[in-house]
Amino acid sequence: MKDLQNIKQRFGIIGNDEGLNRAIDIAVQVAPTDLSVLITGESGTGKEVFPQVIHNYSARKHGQYIAVNCGAIPEGTIDSELFGHEKGSFTGATDSRKGYFEVADGGTIFLDEVVELPLSTQVRLLRVLETGEFIRVGSSKVQKTNVRVIAASNVDVTAAINNGRFREDLFYRLNTVPIKMPALRERGDDIFLLFRKFAVDFAEKYRMPAIKIDHDSRNLLLNYSWPGNVRQLKNITEQISIIESEREITASTLKAYLPEYDGVKLPAVIKREDDKNYSSEREILYKILFDMKSDMNDLKKLVYDLIQNGGTETIKERDSRVLKNLFRDSKIDMEEPKQDVGTQVDFPLRKGREDIVDTEEIIEESLSLADNEVEMIKKALEKYSGKRKLAAHELGISERTLYRKIKEYGIEM
């Protein structure tokens, strides 16, 4: 391996963090090959330096090196920029033009913010990576290029794939060798080294004494989250160098330049909107069944009270309202009684103990969860004439889960 300190000095890399040294080591080892490299890390961590390291330690170092910020080029012109275009291929194309892949033949192209590429352009890029072929915009002629592609992203590429923003096959093609850049807050004492380097540089630039920090300020720098990473640290150092007249910076002065300072690096607390969650659809269904069972028990108790008071009972407004609420909570439709309030309703029940026992036997139902689940599924399928999608929506489960339960219980449709 090349001497680590020489590489850092040549490319202006500052720091002794283990993650940073590992990234440099991988870059130097992969440089002599033609493998594609994907560099990931937060914005401002210095990802743009590593493609230069790879290019300069490769056999392509005498070839063209082109850095392209994919997020800064409009979607309508990105294909033309990368692959070129023919005269008259679109409005404003007064001449033929070579694209970056044609100009950098034999060299290296660095695609920064590669996730920002449109999906149509991703297809073209995948073809270049796989076959080395591309076609200019407005042309039908296939051209060849020998270009090494290094890409970088400051967003989670896996999340972009799941959201349909980035092609999975292109990710695997670019991610042949991954390099992960550590965030500044993870680099410990590197923060002080960088601060001191920036302070000296700005002192020379603006011809003034370099600023220094005291012990409390060091702790402040160490505990800050640095969302903008090295770029933010450099910006703050420049601001303090120009604005502050005192050359020794205290913690109170430094704090004024750190936006939304939170004191210490603690994990974020995420508040749930609803503490009740269920690990599976089966548990949701069981909860519905138990709620219905509770409502049915309340209804049984009310009927039993009516029986105890005699075979005939006048339904008052209170009793009518209770019955309606019970049926509504149980998701059972109930017809409005045709009789006016105060009308006597005859219950064809006898006062004998045996009749009461028989009544209890008739309304008694199975307590088996499986039986109740089967019954609910049958009712839902019957309600929607066997349409599983509608039935699944009614039950609050997915159609796939419903299909599995139908097979599991052997329910005939």
Average per-residue pLDDT in the chain? Answer: 82
What per-residue confidence (pLDDT) applies to 253?
Answer: 93
* 207 torsion bin: left (phi>0), alpha (psi -120 to 50), beta (else): left
Asked if 228 and 265 touch (Cβ cutoff 8 Å), the reply is no
Sorted by where each begins, the domain ranges of the chain are 4-182, 185-255, 296-363, 369-409
Q: How far apart are CA 294 and CA 367, in angstroms?
A: 12
CATH class of 4-182: alpha beta
| Residue 202 in this model has a pLDDT that exceeds 60 | yes
Percent of the chain with pLDDT over 90: 59
User: Which residues are bridge partners to 142 per DSSP?
Assistant: 135
Which residue from 246, 214, 227, 176 is spatially nearest to 45, judged by alpha carbons? 227
pLDDT value at residue 260? 72
Q: Both tokens of residue 38?
A: 């994907």
Residue 223, classified by CB atoms within 10 Å of its CB into exposed (0-12), middle (13-18) or buried (19+), is: middle
**Segment 35-56 mean pLDDT:** 96
For 211, left (φ over 0), alpha (ψ -120 to 50), or beta? beta
Mean pLDDT (whole number) for 116-122: 95
Residue 124 has pLDDT above 90, yes or no: yes
End-to-end Cα, the chain, rounded Å: 70
Q: Are 121 and 82 in contact (CB under 8 A)?
A: yes
Distance CA 399, CA 407 (A): 13
pLDDT in tens, 16-41: 999 999 999 999 999 999 999 999 99
| Region of poorest pLDDT, from 151-155, 180-184, 266-270, 289-293 | 266-270
Return the pLDDT at 332: 46
For residue range 167-190, what is the model confidence (pLDDT) as tens digits? 999 999 999 999 999 999 999 999
Residue 245 corresponds to which tokens in the numbers above?
Answer: 């007249």
| 195 has pLDDT over 60 | yes
Instruction: Tell me the CATH number for domain 185-255.
Output: 1.10.8.60
* Residue pair 220/186 in contact by the 8 Å Cβ criterion: no
Give the Cα separation of 121 and 81 in Å (integer). Answer: 11
Note the pTM of the prediction, 2 decimals: 0.62
User: Above 90 in pLDDT, residue 289?
Assistant: no
User: What architecture is domain 369-409?
Assistant: Orthogonal Bundle (1.10)
